[in-house]
Chain A
C-alpha cells in the first residue's frame, strides 16, 4: 500500500457518501461459486468486507440425518465439486472407524489413486482459475483440456465424470477395468510433459510474479491461528500433512513427501500447488507399483440395511484445498445421528477475508481468492 492513496482514503472516510457497497459475487465473473463478498469501498479500495455466504445452502449436515448410511454417499461429493473424492473417503472412513473394520489392501490403494487423481483435477482447475483471475486465460483452457483426460479415466472407472460415488463403506464399488492402468500411465506422462509448459506460461511469467508477490501474506503463526490447512498452510512454512501425520487409505505404505515453503504470499502458494502437482503424479506412480491383488470390497451384507454400531468417529482427509473432516455420530440405527463437516475453505473464505481484504484494492480480490483455493460450497454445507 503506497502512502498517497491511503491518505486519500483516510480523508474520504469522513465523507458519508464516499463509501459505497459493491457486491463481489455471487454474480461476478471473478467469483468461483455461489458466494459473494459485500465490499464497502472508497474509490477502488476496500474498507470493510462482509462475506455473503449461504447462496448454496442445501443443509447437507441436517439432510444426512434423514438418509440411510449408504444413501449419503450420493450426497457428500456435492460438498466440493472440483475435488469430490475426499468427501466420500472421509465419510466412509468414519463409518469404518465406528464399525471397527479394516478394508482390503487393494481397496485402500484404489482409494488412494482416485484421491490423488481427484487432487490432480482440482489442482489443474485451481491453477487455471488463478491464471484467469489475473487475465491469463491460456493456461486455463489448456488445463481444462488436460483435466478432461483425467475425467475420462474417472468415467471409465466409476461411470460418472464429476460425482464418482465410488467409495462405499467396506471398500470401493468396482475393481480397475482392463487397460485402465496403462491409460493412467499415459495420461501421467502427458501431464508431466505439459507441466513444463505450465511453468513457462504461468509460473515464469514476469507479470504473474508482479501481481502475486506479497499479495495476501500469511505468517507462519497466522496460518495456524486461522486454521488454514493443506497447501496454504505448508506454503507458510508449517510441515503438516494429514497423509503423513495421520495416514488413511494406503498412505501408510507410501512415501509421501511433505513440501514446505517459507514465504506465505500468493506467489508462494501458487508455486506450492505447482510442486505438489508434481509430487502427486509421483505418488500415483508409486501407488500403482505397490498395488496388491485381491478383493476390493468387504462383504457387509445388504448395505441398504446397514446398521452402524453406537459410537462416534472423526475421519480426516487431505484434499487439494486442505483438511476435510467428517465427524460422524451413530446411535446404532439405520441413519446417522449427526454428521458434522469440516470444510477447508471456511477459515480462509470467512475469517481470513476479514483480515486481508480491507485495505486491498479491488484488483486483487479475485487473485487472492484463487491463490487460497477458496471453494465456496463447503462454507455453506
Chain B
C-alpha cells in the first residue's frame, strides 16, 4: 500500500496496455481522463437515462433564465429609452437676470464671468423678444432670439448654420412647416423682409428655449443693452450640474445675479426610478430562477436516491468520493448550463423579434449593456444548477458504501 508499490503497479499496467495498444479502442467516445472529462461523460449518460425528467428540469432553468434576461433587458431598454428622450433636458441650463435683485439684463461682463465659471460647456447668450412672423400665406406670433453662434447649440436640417450669424433668419422646424417656408424663402418680421439661411432640425427632446417654435436672428437685429438669457449646453447631465454649481459659487457668490433653470435633478429622479424598476423586474425574473433551482434539487435528490446502490458500487470499487461528487455536480451543472444556453438564445431571438415588431429604436435595443443581462442570466442559470446540485451530490457521495449496497 506504499507509494512505491502503487507506482510499481501503475508502471506495470501502462506497460501492458502499450503492448496491446493497437486494439479497436481508438474510436471509442468514452475515454477516462484525469480532469472533469470522465465525470461529464458519465453525467451526460445519466441525464439521458430519464430523458423526460431531464428535459423538464432543463425547461425550468430555461424559463428562469429567459425571465431574468428578458425582464432585465426590458427594464434596461426602458431606462435607455427614457434617457434618450429626456437626456438633453438635463444637459441644458438656462440663466436669466434676477429681476428680484433689480437686474434687468446680462452684460458682456456677466457673460464673460459665466464663461469663466463653467469652463468646458458652450455658453450662448441670447436676446429674446416676441414678434409676428409672416410667410407667403400664413403668419404666426413667435419667440425671436438674437444669437451670434447658433452652431454651438443647434443643428440645421436644411442649409448651413453660419459660424457667426451676421445676416438672414434661422427658423425652427415647427415654424418652417407652419408657414410653409424653406431655405431661400423670405419671411417678414416686424416689417422687415429677411431671407431664411437655414432651417433647424426638429429637436427630439424638451429644451428650455423651445427652438422648434422660434426664429433666430443676428444679434445686430436687436437694439437692447444686455442679454435676456444665457444658454449653457453641456455634454452630460453631470457636467451641467457642475456648471450650475460653479455659477452659484462665482457669479452668484455675493448676490443672486442670475436665476438658474436646470433640470438635472429631475433627470436624476427619473434615472433612480428606472433603476428601481429594473431591479424590481430582475427580482421577478430571479423568482422563477429560484423555482428552477428547486426543481433541479428535486431531480437530483430523486435520481441519487434511485441510484444509491450504483453510487455505492462506484465507491466500493475504489472511486474516490470527490470523483463521485464530480459526476453528480456535472449532472446538475449540465442541466443548468443547457437550460441557461437555451434561455439565452431564446431571449436573443425575442429581443430581435421585438426589434422588428415594434418601433423601438435599434440603438436602444442593441445597446451593449443588454448583453450584460444576457451574460448575467447565463451565469445565474449555471450557478443555480451547481448550487442546487451541491447538496444532493454531497449527500449521495458521502454515504458509506456499506450502507448504500445494503439491499
A and B: interacting chains: no
